[in-house]
Amino acid sequence: MGNCHTVGPNEALVVSGGCCGSDYKQYVFGGWAWAWWCISDTQRISLEIMTLQPRCEDVETAEGVALTVTGVAQVKIMTEKELLAVACEQFLGKNVQDIKNVVLQTLEGHLRSILGTLTVEQIYQDRDQFAKLVREVAAPDVGRMGIEILSFTIKDVYDKVDYLSSLGKTQTAVVQRDADIGVAEAERDAGIREAECKKEMLDVKFMADTKIADSKRAFELQKSAFSEEVNIKTAEAQLAYELQGAREQQKIRQEEIEIEVVQRKKQIDVEAQEILRTDKELIATVRRPAEAEAHRIQQIAEGEKVKQVLLAQAEAEKIRKIGEAEAAVIEAMGKAEKNLIYCTIKISLSQPGMVAHACNPSTLGG
């Protein structure tokens, strides 16, 4: 007969042996297996994660600087059947510490070999890349043992000659310098940006003030236009009112004139009737007696008129004769004065001393 063996997920059970000298091996984790009494052998191996701290002391880098490097690795036995068989073949029957020592020595060997190919700066400044390189180089070797590297990180790097501290001081100085430069550039950029912002603010303010001024000007122009339109409408209304008043006054005056005309016509009619009445009265009392007297006076007037006409004609003929005589005298005097002036000019040009004698009227001979 036999027994039923169970195992948890954190360890593997290996059942070997069997009937008729069989070399069949059964690998179980997180399950159960049957083992025969006396002819089957059962062994267990841990699948839990093992934490290793590989340490390499005073390992010279590519530059010859001795460094001490400490890492932290998380490893475990793989559960794939073939790899689990390999791990069982190499570690079955050993305790966890023995397994750790084997893997630790392998990791430290690879860590030491990689340190010799890198510079201090590459190791110190890019630890993740360094750890990745160690993991990639060591993984095939430990994988052939059925071990899987879950993670590998660099815990500590230091030296005994203060190289790293000097490098740190240099880097600190560089960083401080870069920081000062960055601060100065930031302050410069901030000043430039502040000036640009102030300029933009002033530009915006100027544009805003310009728009406000334009709006005020447009408002004043519109207000002026409205005021002008209101004044025009008011003047038109006032003018229309005055014109309508003048028209009404004209109508009133025209009606008054018409009334006056009617009154005047009536007065004329009354006066005409009065004239007719007076004329009739005069005809009866004055005109007829006066007509005879007027005829007599007319005859006398006509005779007197003829007399006056004849007298006037005689007076006119008299005046005409007197005028013709005076005109002849004036003409003669003009000729005499003309001759006198001519002689005076002629003598003055020929014999100036004889002017008085030549111009004597008695010597001129008329």
Give residue 364's pLDDT: 45
Instruction: Tell me what pLDDT residue 78 has.
Output: 83
pLDDT at position 348: 73
pLDDT at 275: 80
* CA atoms within 13 A of residue 355's CA, in its CB half-sphere: 10
**Fold of domain 48-161:** Tetrahydropterin Synthase; Chain A (3.30.479)
Q: Supply the pLDDT for residue 358.
A: 47
Residue-by-residue pLDDT tens, the chain, 366 positions: 666 766 767 777 777 776 555 566 777 777 676 566 665 666 677 888 889 888 888 878 777 878 888 888 888 888 888 887 888 878 877 888 888 898 888 888 888 888 888 887 777 777 888 888 888 888 888 888 888 888 888 888 877 776 666 666 666 667 677 878 888 888 888 888 888 888 888 888 888 888 888 888 888 888 888 888 888 888 888 888 888 888 888 888 888 888 888 888 888 888 778 888 877 777 777 666 767 677 778 778 787 887 788 788 878 887 888 888 788 778 878 787 777 777 777 777 765 554 445 445 444 444
Number of helical H runs and strand E runs in the chain: 8, 7
Terminal alpha carbon distance of the chain = 213
Q: How far apart are CA 42 and CA 163, in angstroms?
A: 55
Which pLDDT score is estimated for 290?
67
At residue 79, the pLDDT reads: 81
Quote the CA–CA distance of 213 and 219 in Å, as a whole number: 10
The pTM of the whole model exceeds 0.75: no
Provide the pLDDT for residue 356: 47
Domain assignments of the chain as residue spans, ordered by start: 1-46, 48-161
Euclidean distance between CA atoms 140 and 128, whole angstroms: 19
Distance separating alpha carbons of residues 53 and 101, to the nearest angstrom: 10
Question: In this predicted structure, what is the pLDDT of residue 82?
Answer: 84
Please give the Cα distance from 137 to 69 (Å, whole number): 17
